Amino acid sequence: MTEVLRILIAPLVWLASFSAIYGLHGLLCQNALAAVAGFPAERAVLMAAYGVAIALQIILLWILHHPRFAAPSGLLRFVSRASGWTGLIASVWTLFPVVALPTCF
Amino acid sequence: MNALERHRKLTEIWASDKGFKGWFSTVNHNDLGRMFLVTAFFFFIVGGLLAMLIRVQLATPHSAFAGPEIYNQIFTMHGTVMMFLFAIPTFEGLAIYLLPKMLGTRDLAFPRLTAYGFWCYAFGGSMLIVAMLFGIAPDGGWFMYPPLTSAIHSPGINADFWLIGITFVEISAIAAAVEITVSVLKYRAPSMSLAKMPIFAWYALITALMILTGFPPLILGSVLLELERAFGLPFFQVDLGGDSLLWQHLFWLFGHPEVYIIFLPAAGVISTVLPVMCRTTLLGYGWIVSAAVALAFLSFGLWVHHMFTTGIPHMGLAFFSAASTLVAVPTGVQIFAWIGTMWKGRPELHLPMLHILGFFFTFVIGGLTGVMVAVVPFDWQAHDTAFITAHLHYVLFGGFVFPIFAGVYYWLPHFTGRKRFFCLGELAFALVFVGFHVTFLAMHWVGLLGQRRRIPTYAPEDGWTAINLISSVGSFILAIGIAMILVDVVLHIVTAHRGRRNPWNATTLEWAMITPAPAYTFASLPRITWRDPLSAEPDLAVSLARGEGYLGTPRHNWRETLAVDIASGKPEMHVLYPANTRLPILMSAVTGLFFLSLLMKFYWTVPLAMGGVAFLAWKWVWGLGLRQDQAVQSVGHGLSLPNAATVARSPGWWGTAFLLTANATFFGALLFGFAFLWTIAPGWPPPAWFTPSIFELGVGISGAALAPLAIRHATRVNESGGTPFPTVILALCGIVALGFACASLMWRAPTPNEHAYGATMLVLGGYGTFHTAISGLMGGFLTAQIRSGYTSANRRAAFPIVGLWVKYTSATGVIILLAAHLPGLIP
Ligand code: HEM
Ligand SMILES: [Cu+2]
């Protein structure tokens, strides 16, 4: 089962963080927060979450490349690393609007 | 024993009952796969006829062919039949028929479950067809948006047919998905590691996992909407704390993955057939597997792109727009791998190849219009126009129907052992190809001119007349083409013209047997160390028929196979299959009674049907019990394996684990719905919160803590030879305590008819109560088994299975109780 898990974990974490940040965005825009030193707090929270999501993926990718945790067989190693990269790219790209767009509009 | 004697003996053991009675008692994947496919193609014809009616209606302005009421039913049924009764079951049928053969085993993991799934599909589909014949078919569009489909705006029984009938059919999808997942992971030829699996098995595995996680949100949505319609629980009514957008979220949380659930198996067919047509091997196996995994996941992050026009904040739109453009990448990876395969090989233009070329051309266009509508401003213009229906047919017809036709022609010799001798198929392909593009290119165009989808008629002044007529003419060319394909297939089946084995010189295992496939599939099981076994060992079929593989000697009238370790394919256990039985059809009939009672509002038969299902399920599992301890069995080549009833992780354990995965998605969707209503729906907070009770919370949580601990202890005691009876009883007490707390939550839910909050509490409590009932039933079953001497330290497989259910029930029970009691406890 760990072989299957290695393949699924990174995209699963992307899916979780993507949904969580979408939900968080909805929550933040429902309940206005005070600005911190002129910088809107919603935006700061979302950007922090974006950073965490990317960091998680980088850690996962590192784990999948680490000889101690990597899959033993060639194909499964390839597929699990490819899905690790998928998770990272998907996190950077799909959550990019956090930094590019006004938060609650 | 020579090959012929072995064939006779094995056939005797594996054969279904003779005559048409055999259809009702067969549990063999050969039969059930064919039955699934034939039924699915019947529904394809039904859906196709409905499509023709649509095009007749739209051919001319001010058409008097059908009034709006009937027209609504026609297009709703067309979409519903095609998506739920044709596309998904076609995948199921193909996978059920092919997988054991490709994986080198004798049947799927749970043969009776295959049969149960088939009958649920057949009965549920019939319900919808009957509704159509009586003119009371669903008419709210295939995605059934409330408030249009709520009791206020659709008071008739039409919408109930959809909600109840489709949920019934969905049971069969979940059953098939559990079946396929466990079969691909555990039921393979010895030594066939994951890396050596045929590519189709990867696609089937990924698709099945997607069904397990994609369908539950729709089942939940249907349950909630039916509860609203039947009992007035206002989940989707804005004035009572509900929100109709919740339906859209739940529906598309299912609906977008659904599109890929349809596409991925078709891609599996292409990845299998294309290399054979090009006389080469598949280029980039690892890339293709990775792309399919990526596609599966990304497709769960796209659902909001169907809701771009609902007024969601811009950043939310941008998330889903970005995700929607990203899916084009893994799709592109697959397309390029296929192009590379063609480049590498020598393509031969056999009929399956023509359909694959048809796929390429059509699907790429569909993908491009898909990226167009992923861009929000364009979608705002094109939303709900014929442009969208044109786009979706390019992907569905291009991405599913063409590949399936390729597969049909490719595997037809396998199904029948005959060969085709007319050129009807080539002509039919030409008509289908031309007809399709004329129909749907025209629809793109008229859509951009502003024709909305789902309109029963239009005026000459709109300026759409000529284009619509062209489209309708095209659709009739298409229909003639499809009819010719069907005629061709029927001719092929009835004309006697024996073909040779493996006419395409394919290299996958399903061709290593006589055709049509014998009931036992393989006379002995191969050892597989190559991805293309038949190119490594061209004479494999002969040596398997001679019994040179594993389990080559029929004995004790056993239907036997073996199961393997997931990753390496190392043989792990010896499996005995159940015999022919009418239990599955009976159980699905009683399941049908349950759904019919809900539909007809005969509420007194509902508990009757539920009791019936419980009774039959009990009988079903009881029959598997073994009275004697099982020694290891020799399976040939000096290998001996333990029986599946004597291991900790039996096939049943795996099946339970994946069923609970689907169940957990259902529960997760329910919690999402609760959170969504709480934060987004207007009309919150509710007039009154649930009155918390420290006593109930305490009893429930203690029960939830006790039960899993006790069952774990019982499992250990049993394994070390002690008497597990007292601790199983203790676990049952824990379950009862948890059940009490959940039932009380249902009972005391504040005014469920007046606010969505109370309604949600009722459903959460109901979920918990239902699961404690199941766990209680299973605990009761286990005690009965212990009492009758069906368990021992050796025969231990039942304990971990019950343990899984108990743990799941306890974990979800705690979440439910906390979600209900905490808001009132925190000031
Ligand atoms: C056999 C050839 C087919 C033709 C000529 C055809 C034609 C049409 C037309 C004209 C519509 C638009 C109805 C309207 O907006 O008023 C439609 C809707 C639809 N079709 Fe098809 N179709 C075909 C095959 C398929 C297939 C194979 C699938 C799926 C696998 C499919 C799925 C759908 C769906 C989901 C809708 C939307 C229904 C709704 O709006 O509720 N169709 N079709
Ligand atoms: Cu979509």
C-alpha B481: how far from chain center = 29
Class of domain B267-505: mainly alpha
Residue B393: CB within 6 Å of ligand 1? yes
Q: Which ligand is nearest to the CA of B262?
A: 1
* CATH 1.20.210.10 matches B22-242+539-620+638-648: yes
- Residue B345 contacts by C-beta under 8 Å, 6 or more apart in sequence? B275, B278, B279, B280
Residue B142: CB within 6 Å of ligand 1? yes
| Pair of tokens at residue B380 | 């705002």
| Pair of tokens at residue B141 | 């569009």
Residue B88: CB within 6 Å of ligand 1? no
CB contact under 8 A, B293 and A93: no
Residue A35 located in a structural domain: yes
Contacts of A12 in chain B (CB under 8 A): 297
CB contact under 8 A, B567 and A73: yes
CB contact under 8 A, B195 and A83: no
Q: For chain A, what's the residue count? A: 105
- Residue B715 contacts by C-beta under 8 Å, 6 or more apart in sequence? B724, B796, B799, B800, B803
Q: Which atom of ligand 1 is nearest to the CA of B439?
A: 5
Any A CB within 8 A of B657 CB: no
CB contact under 8 A, A30 and B680: yes
ipTM summary value: 0.93
Pairing of strands B639-641, B560-564: unpaired
Q: For B71-94, write each residue's pLDDT tens digit.
A: 999 999 999 999 999 999 999 999
pLDDT of residue B825: 82
Torsion of CA B245, B249, B254, B258, to 10 degrees: 80
* CATH 2.60.120.260 matches B685-825: no
Give the integer Cα–Cα distance in Å for A21 and A43.
12
Closest-CA residue of chain A to B196: A75
* Residue B55 φ/ψ, nearest 5 degrees: -70, -30
pLDDT of residue A33: 62
Q: How many CA atoms lie within 13 A of B36 on its CB side?
A: 32
Domain holding A65, by residue range, is 3-100
Q: For B577-592, write each residue's pLDDT tens digit.
A: 999 999 999 999 999 9
CB contact under 8 A, B293 and A15: no
Number of H helices, E strands in chain A: 4, 0
Beta carbons of B559 and B13 less than 8 angstroms apart: yes
Bridge partners of B498, per DSSP, are B418
Q: Which ligand is nearest to the CA of B471?
A: 1
To test the pocket of ligand 1, the residue of B260, B263, B393, B485 to mutate (highest count of ligand atoms within 8 Å of its CB) is B393
Beta carbons of B696 and B741 less than 8 angstroms apart: yes
pLDDT of residue A34: 59
Closest-CA residue of chain A to B323: A94
Mutation site for A-interface testing, chosen from B290, B564, B566 by largest number of A Cβ within 10 Å: B290
Residues of chain B with CATH 1.20.120.80: 685-825
Contacts of B318 in chain A (CB under 8 A): 97, 100-101
Helix (H, G, I), strand (E, B) or coil at A50: helix
Residue B28: CB within 6 Å of ligand 1? no
Q: Considering only residues 322 to 361 of chain B, which have any Cβ-Cβ distance to chain A shorter than 8 Å?
A: 322-323, 326, 330
CB contact under 8 A, A4 and B316: no
- Percent above pLDDT 70 for chain A: 91
Q: Alpha-carbon torsion B656, B659, B665, B668, what sign?
A: negative
Beta carbons of B269 and B90 less than 8 angstroms apart: no
Q: Considering only residues 195 to 254 of chain B, which have any Cβ-Cβ distance to chain A shorter than 8 Å?
A: 195
CB-based burial, B70-84: b 16+ in 10 Å, e otherwise: ebbbbbbbbbbbbbb
To test the pocket of ligand 1, the residue of B73, B75, B387 to mutate (highest count of ligand atoms within 8 Å of its CB) is B75
Closest-CA residue of chain B to A4: B567
Give the integer Cα–Cα distance in Å for A34 and A44.
11
Q: A3 vs B310, which has greater pLDDT?
A: B310
Distance (Å) from the alpha carbon of B30 to chain A's nearest alpha carbon: 29
Which portions of chain B are predicted below pLDDT 70?
A: 421, 496, 827
- Residue B471 contacts by C-beta under 8 Å, 6 or more apart in sequence? B55, B58, B438, B439, B440, B442, B443, B446
| Count of structural domains, chain A | 1
Distance (Å) from the alpha carbon of B287 to chain A's nearest alpha carbon: 7
Residue A41 reports pLDDT greater than 90: no
Any A CB within 8 A of B290 CB: yes
CB contact under 8 A, B679 and A102: no
Torsion of CA B550, B553, B554, B558, to 10 degrees: -40
Give the integer Cα–Cα distance in Å for B412 and B406.
10
> Is it true that the peptide bond before B578 is cis, omega within 30 degrees of 0?
no
Q: For B142-163, write each residue's pLDDT tens digit.
A: 999 999 999 999 998 999 999 9
Distance (Å) from the alpha carbon of B530 to chain A's nearest alpha carbon: 13
Residue A53 reports pLDDT greater than 90: yes
Residue A105 located in a structural domain: no
Residues of chain B with CATH 1.20.210.10: 22-242+539-620+638-648, 267-505
